[in-house]
Amino acid sequence: MTISIQLPVKPLDNPMAAEVEGLDLTRNLDDRTIADLHKAWMAYPVLVIRGQELNPEQQLAYSRRFGDLQRHTVKEILHPEYPEILVLSNRGRGGAQPINNGGAYWHSDITYEDIPPMGSILHGVVIPDGGGDTLYADMTAAYDALDDATKAGIEGLKAVHTYRVRYEAMMKAGIRPPKTEEELAQWTDVVHPVARTHPETGKKAIFVNEGFTSRIEGMGDNEGRDLLEKLFEHSTQDRFVYRHRWRPGDVVMWDNRCTLHRATDYDLSQERSMHRATIRGTQPV
């Protein structure tokens, strides 16, 4: 893929991902560099920038260059001093609630809100010796690979997203802290297109995920479940997936409007701590 920028960009082993070299994100990058990064991000929905030693303030300052930030709704895993940072740490680094894995299921961040995020920026603070990779799926490529009948069949369909069902399951499994009925009630159903159009590239992408999409609006339970499972299985084929093997100091930026991701297992006797900032998006259409 050819893009007109000054930054050195190295494609990785899946067309959706690239590494940007030669940057120090602790510095106040000039507007041209940020514009070039944004261009690269629109060309490669997963961008990797290695070797960054960022404190929370520096990560937030960098993330804000791409838009307003959005807080996660699970307050226990927010950084106590910097609540716009989500702390994914099995040791509860910084005083947040310990969490072994942020999402060991395919999902796009916070699609259960009316306005889901544009993107996420994750910093690898402490990385275990092995495991703990993150998988990313290219939902634009997955849409493009659908047969014409399926594309026509999902055109105009809406899907219901909610966090409540997922959280209740994790709560019962003991991997999320208990919440009262009043607290659970904050996660109401929202509706988004099954296939959305990217507001910047104009490309279409599948916009359902096994983490938060519960049903197809206006479709019977069995028919809707069959369609969702077909789309989930199709979208996460190996040909659409980039596996990121973390190194200490990695920063990975992904476009939530056209990707899914999921965490993988690792040795829980070792620390794995990550800081995530989330960039506010726009209403999916």
Per-residue model confidence as pLDDT tens digits over 130-159: 999 999 999 999 999 999 999 999 999 999
- What pLDDT, on a 0 to 100 scale, did the predictor assign at position 230? 98
- The bridge status of strand 17-20 relative to strand 46-49 is parallel
Q: Any residues with CB less than 8 A from the CB of 184 and at least 6 apart, and which?
A: 164, 167, 168
Is 33's pLDDT higher than 80? yes
Give the single-character DSSP code of 226: H
Q: Which fold has domain 9-102+110-137+246-257+266-279?
A: Double-stranded beta-helix (3.60.130)
Mean pLDDT throughout 258-263?
Answer: 98
- What pLDDT, on a 0 to 100 scale, did the predictor assign at position 4? 67
Give 172-223 pLDDT, tens digit per residue: 887 777 889 888 888 789 999 999 999 999 999 999 999 999 999 999 999 9
Interatomic CA distance for residues 143 and 231, integer angstroms: 9
Give 268-283 pLDDT, tens digit per residue: 999 999 999 999 999 9
Torsion of CA 132, 64, 176, 270, to 10 degrees: 30
Instruction: For the chain, give the percent of residues with pLDDT over 70.
Output: 99
Interatomic CA distance for residues 218 and 149, integer angstroms: 19
What's the distance, CA 182 to chain centroid?
27
State phi, psi for 187 to the nearest 5 degrees: -95, 85
Is 2's pLDDT higher than 80? no
State the chain's mean pLDDT as an integer. 95
Is 127's pLDDT higher than 80? yes
Is 87's pLDDT higher than 90? yes
Please state which of the ranges 171-175, 241-245, 258-262 shows the lowest mean pLDDT. 171-175
The catalytic residue positions are: 107, 109, 261, 276
Beta-sheet strand order (sheet of 213-216): 190-193, 158-161, 213-216
CATH class of the domain comprising 138-236: alpha beta
- What pLDDT, on a 0 to 100 scale, did the predictor assign at position 163? 86
What are the boundaries of each domain within the chain?
9-102+110-137+246-257+266-279, 138-236
The b-or-e profile of 79-116 (16+ CB within 10 A means b, else e) is: beebebbbbbbbeebbebeebebbbebbbbbbbbbeeb
For residue 262, name the pLDDT band (cuts at 50, 70, 90). very high
Mean pLDDT throughout 212-241?
Answer: 97
Is 3's pLDDT higher than 70? no
Q: How many CA atoms lie within 13 A of 228 on its CB side?
A: 23
Mean pLDDT throughout 5-24?
Answer: 95
